[in-house]
Amino acid sequence: MGWKNYLRQFLRDLKSQKLRAALTLFGLVWGTTAVTLLLAFGEGLQGRMMKNIRGLGENIVICWPAQTSKPWEGLPRNRKIIVKDDDITALRREIPGMTAISGEYSARNKKFKVGHKVIVPGLTGANPVFAAMRNLIPQQGGRYVDDLDMDERRRVVFLGDGLKQDLFGDTDAVGKYVNVNGMPFLVVGVMTAKSQDSSYQGRDKDRASIPATTFRAMYGQQEYGNFVFQVADADKVEIAKDKVIATLAKIHRFDPTDAEAVRMWDVTENEKFMHSFMLGFRIFLGVMGVLTLVVGGIGVSNIMNVVVEERTKEIGVKMALGARQRMVVTQFLFETLLLTVIGGTIGFLISWGICAAFPAKFDEFVGTPVISLQGGVVTTALLGLIGFLAGYFPARAAARLNPVEALRL
């Protein structure tokens, strides 16, 4: 019966103070919506940016053999470091924690011809593991180059989705042939479209891949232009990089501290920076939302103080008839928290509706806003805390009223 009485009293106050209650609810709804949407859009933006970064590959390091800049063991500086298959095999054997490694041949002067269409895209010669490292995922019905292609030096080619569109248009390309510098190559796969905001030889969508053995046999290039390796644990990438340098330094006899001998691009550094940046950005958004929510809580506190003043005589009567301080405090806390719950629920529903209706065409730019469990828990906890504090102090003031003095007012 107690809760029913509390609810009946709340509804009576709501009817008598419609405008004040509506303004208070608006503050709570606005604050909840602001916090939820800011966190949701921050989550979506981080997801989009991380997806773009990982389009190049996850936990990978791209290495370019260059020239020594220091003399070493009687050998002069400016010696060219040449990496071949034997070096890749040695690195695969010597570096623990390395999940994959592939040398990479590259060319930009090979003409691709289909019918009357002629294009000069970037061409890669690589091993089968290269696709997994670089997120070159084939579309359904196709594949990347495999071990049999490598062993038999087959003339097969894997096309980026943009290059496929330029050469074949909307027709299927798998199973058809494309002339590469006058030699027919069978198209075995087309890349699934992906997001990619960084590259080192052009976007993957505009490139083609053939088996490394085929590239070497056709074009006579023995040394790799670069190689790519992947580590399972991102925290151990630095260790792997040091061991790669140490191993190559031992093989090719150069100073292990020579930073110019083999240049490296650690993709995980981009991810670490982005994680730090987005954490700070989301904290900023959260603080802005919390401040907005606090403003709504202040409004609740103000209205509860006014309610206490208007119901002073009522409180005095209740206490004169034997009501305890705990009952008075509970009544006001119940009304405050109920008001907070109503405003918070409406705010959550509005936020959910906005996220659900957010146009998919903007996903490429700002991502898709997501109301995460973490964001929901944080917002709910803030709402509960603000609601409790907004109601507790007015409730405590009401419970401490002297019944006799309250009846005189």
pLDDT digits (tens, 9 = 90+) for 97-110: 899 999 999 998 99
- Position of tokens 């389009």? 55
How would residue 269 be classed by pLDDT, with cut points 50, 70 and 90?
A: confident
Instruction: Identify the pLDDT of residue 349.
Output: 87
pTM assigned to the model: 0.71
How would residue 306 be classed by pLDDT, with cut points 50, 70 and 90?
A: low
Interval 57-79: pLDDT, tens:
889 999 999 999 999 988 999 99
How would residue 239 be classed by pLDDT, with cut points 50, 70 and 90?
A: very high
Region 277-301: mean pLDDT is: 73
Sign of CA dihedral 352, 356, 358, 363: positive
DSSP state for residue 135 in the 8-state scheme? T
Instruction: Identify the pLDDT of residue 401.
Output: 60
Instruction: Identify the pLDDT of residue 1.
Output: 42
Angle between helices 2-16 and 325-357 (to 10 degrees): 70
DSSP state for residue 197 in the 8-state scheme? S
Regarding predicted confidence, which is higher, 343 or 163?
163
Q: How far apart are CA 289 and CA 284, in angstroms?
A: 9
Residue-averaged pLDDT of the chain: 83
Interval 208-223: pLDDT, tens:
999 999 999 999 898 9
Interval 370-380: pLDDT, tens:
777 666 667 76
Query: What does the angle CA 139 – CA 143 – CA 144 come to, to the nearest 5 degrees?
Result: 115
Instruction: Identify the pLDDT of residue 336.
Output: 73
Sign of CA dihedral 195, 106, 163, 192: negative
Instruction: Identify the pLDDT of residue 392.
Output: 67
